[in-house]
Amino acid sequence: MALLDLMGRRMALRILWELANAPAPLTFRALQDAADTNPGVLNGRLRELRDARLVEHEADGYRLSDGGRSLLAVLLPLHGWAEAWAAAGKPSAPGRVRSPRKR
């Protein structure tokens, strides 16, 4: 699945996430700062995400496309599963497993 290729890349999900939580479109710099990455990676990812029509670029910056938003929506259940899975997997880890964290 090509989707996983894309989403598995270094800052892909992070970028989508930052854009999703931004009140307004983010500039290149703003994104670079928010995702804490470098121009090269950010630029590459941005290109791929735009090719995939998951984000859009306008004069005022980058924003999620409808498709991007729908992807995020589909990703949520997976995210939930992953959390439960991770929680089940590290019962012996420095135990803060008990208090479910919400952010």
| Footprint on this chain of a copy of itself (rule: CB under 8 A) | 1-5, 7-8, 13, 52-53, 67, 70-71, 74-75, 77-79, 81-82, 85-86, 88-89, 97
- Comparing CB distances to DNA, the nearer of 33 and 83 is 33
- Which of residues 61 and 97 has its CB atom nearest to a copy of itself in the complex? 97
90: contact with DNA by CB under 7 A: no
- Alpha carbon distance 78, 4 (integer Å): 13
- Residue 80 CB, shortest distance to a copy of itself, in Å, is 8
Task: Give the closest residue to 2 by CA, choosing from 41, 54, 73.
Answer: 54
Binding map of DNA across residues 40-69, x = CB under 7 A, - = no contact:
xx-xx-xx---------x---x--------
**How far, in Å, are 5, 8, 27, 28, 50 from residue 32 at the CA level?**
21, 18, 8, 6, 16
- Both structure tokens of 97: 């497993």
